[in-house]
Structure 1
Amino acid sequence: MISNALKIRLDTFVDAIIAIIITIMALELPAASWSDHEHILSFFLAVAVYAVSFCFVANIWYQQATLFSTVDVIPRRVVLLEFLLTFLLSLVPPLTRLMSGDVENLSVMLYGALYLLITLVFRYITETVVHQQTDDKERMHQIYTSVYGQHNMENSFLLAALIILAFFLPWVAYVLYIIIPIRSFLTIDDDQRELTAIGDMEAAGQKTYLQMNHKQQERFRHLVGHYVRDTRRAQNDTAKKAAWNTFTQAVQTQVGIDPEQLSKWFQPNSRNAYHQDINQYRNSRRPKKTHDTTD
């Protein structure tokens, strides 16, 4: 493990690299005269690819910032993975320029391969950090898999299929590469919010959750995620209490868990109706690190 001070410096390093990457992508937008209509079309195509790359890189930054904010220390191997991640991200600008300049099968396939590789590396980083947050690593692994597993698998297969599609129909793959990152960007917080909420439940609640079938788990996670979102938006205690009542009634109706049981699972959260952000609650439960640790 590395110390909190070194983790902060790693965060700063990654932030700086990502800021430079986004700046380079913006500087590489074509600036030819619009007297020729072909230049206008080329410019807007380049902007579309830039938007895709921006959403993709910004999505990685936000997820990492959210992930690292929940822990004081991280495994040392994550540092090496972060260096690999930033190296791969640094390849986004040239491949963005390549694909926007010439939409052909090779350029789109290379962009897709980089997209897939970055996604897989970041997914491994996320899983590593999440698993080390609890002593019961097996249960946390099951929770992580229930939240991200099917989504990750579907996303990986989709990206791999797009690489194959780009060989035959590069323009179709090109358009899909524009849609997918923007969609992910707009739903950036959903999975992380659900994972945080389920991970903060009492152990008995987590065990009951893991015994549910897939559809029940999915419905329960969504209800919990909506509850956390509503309490964050609530302006006063009355609104927070109303969010809790709405949540418990929905869970009882749709999943069959009574409010009294939920109150036990989410204590002390239910008594306070999430008066504070759920990440602040997690930090308050975690013992403070007062010295550096090594592997």
Structure 2
Amino acid sequence: MISKELKVRLDTFVDAILAIIITIMALELPAASWANHGNILTFLLAVAVYAVSFCFVANIWYQQATLFSTVNVIPRRVVLLEFLLTFLLSLVPPLTRLMSGDVENLSVMLYGALYLLITLVFRYIAETVVHQQTDDKDRMHEIYTSIYGQHNLENSILLAGLIGLAFFWPWVAYILYLIIPIRSFLTIDDDQRELTAITDMEPSGQKSYLDMTHTQQTQFRHLIGRYVRDTRRAKDQTSREAAWRTFSDTAQKQFDISASQLAQWFRATSQEAMRPEGNQADNGRRTRTRPASKS
């Protein structure tokens, strides 16, 4: 394990590299005169590729920032993987320029291969860090696999398939590469929100969740995700209570989980939802002042 101070410096280093990468991609957009209408199309294509690469890099940054905010120390092998990840990300600008300058099979295939490799490296980093957060490694592995496993497999197969597609129809693969990162960017919080909710459950709830079928697990996580979104949007205690009741009633109908059992699984969450407004405010003040008392 590395120290907390070294982890902070690693976070700063990665943030700086990603900021530079995005800046370089923006500076490399073509700036030819639009008097020639052909330059307009070239510019728009370059902007489209830049938008994709921006979403891709920003997505990696956000997921990493969210992931690393949950731990104070990380294994040394993660540091080495972070260096590998930043090296691969530093190749995004030249390959972005190559693909935007000439949409042909080799340039699109190289971009796709880099995309796939970065995704695989980051997923390994994420799995390593997530598993570190609990003493029950086997259970955490099952939870992580249930949430990310199918998605990661499908995404990897899709990216590998697009590399093959680019050999025959580079323009088709090019267009799909415009869609996939943007879609991931727009749904950036979903998997992480569901993972956090499941890992915060009581052990009995986690066991029951893992005993569900894959389809039931997916439906249950989506239900949790909707509840978390509703509570974040809630502006008062009445809205929070309504969100919990909706969540509880739906879970009982879909999965035959009683309200009391659900409250047991999500003990802290259910107590927060039903806590009087004044007590919540007091608790918020205590939570905010706690770090100062430690220092």
Q: 2:104 is aligned with what amino acid?
A: E
**1:122, CA displacement in angstroms?**
0.2
Provide the C-alpha distance between the structure 1 equivalents of 2:93 and 2:18, rounded to a whole number of angstroms. 11
**8 Å Cα contact 1:219/1:255 also seen in 2:** no
The equivalent residue for 1:85 is: 85
Provide the C-alpha distance between the structure 1 equivalents of 2:274 and 2:37, rounded to a whole number of angstroms. 55
**1:3, CA displacement in angstroms?**
1.7
Q: TM-score, normalised to structure 2's length?
A: 0.92
| RMSD of Structure 2 on Structure 1 (CA) | 1.7
Provide the C-alpha distance between the structure 2 equivalents of 1:122 and 1:34, rounded to a whole number of angstroms. 40
Question: Which of the two has greater helix per residue?
Answer: 2
The equivalent residue for 2:268 is: 268
**8 Å Cα contact 2:241/2:274 also seen in 1:** no
Provide the C-alpha distance between the structure 2 equivalents of 1:233 and 1:7, rounded to a whole number of angstroms. 33
The answer to whether 1:149 aligns with 2:149 is yes
Q: After superposition, what is the alpha-carbon deviation per residue over 1:233-279, rounded to whole angstroms, capped at 9, x for unaligned?
A: 21121111111111001111111111100111111221112989xxx
Q: After superposition, what is the alpha-carbon deviation per residue over 1:217-241, rounded to whole angstroms, capped at 9, x for unaligned?
A: 1111111111111111211211111
The equivalent residue for 1:237 is: 237
Provide the C-alpha distance between the structure 2 equivalents of 1:248 and 1:75, rounded to a whole number of angstroms. 39
The equivalent residue for 1:129 is: 129
Provide the C-alpha distance between the structure 2 equivalents of 1:211 and 1:74, rounded to a whole number of angstroms. 30
Provide the C-alpha distance between the structure 2 equivalents of 1:202 and 1:5, rounded to a whole number of angstroms. 32
Higher relative contact order structure (alpha carbons within 8 Å, sequence separation ≥ 6): 1
Provide the C-alpha distance between the structure 2 equivalents of 1:40 and 1:68, rounded to a whole number of angstroms. 41
**8 Å Cα contact 1:228/1:274 also seen in 2:** no
Counterparts of 1:20-39 in structure 2, within 5 Å, are 20-39=20-39
The equivalent residue for 2:74 is: 74
Q: 2:120 is aligned with what amino acid?
A: L
The equivalent residue for 1:199 is: 199
Provide the C-alpha distance between the structure 2 equivalents of 1:160 and 1:268, rounded to a whole number of angstroms. 42
1:274 to 1:63, Cα distance in 2 relative to 1, 3 A: farther
* Structure 1 unmatched runs, 5+: 285-289, 291-295
Counterparts of 1:153-232 in structure 2, within 5 Å, are 153-232=153-232
Runs (4+) of structure 1 exceeding 3 A deviation are: none
1:13 to 1:261, Cα distance in 2 relative to 1, 3 A: same
The equivalent residue for 2:115 is: 115
The equivalent residue for 1:47 is: 47
Provide the C-alpha distance between the structure 2 equivalents of 1:82 and 1:237, rounded to a whole number of angstroms. 42
Provide the C-alpha distance between the structure 2 equivalents of 1:182 and 1:243, rounded to a whole number of angstroms. 30
Q: 2:85 is aligned with what amino acid?
A: L
Q: TM-score, normalised to structure 1's length?
A: 0.92
Number of aligned pairs?
280
Counterparts of 1:94-109 in structure 2, within 5 Å, are 94-109=94-109
Provide the C-alpha distance between the structure 2 equivalents of 1:3 and 1:228, rounded to a whole number of angstroms. 33
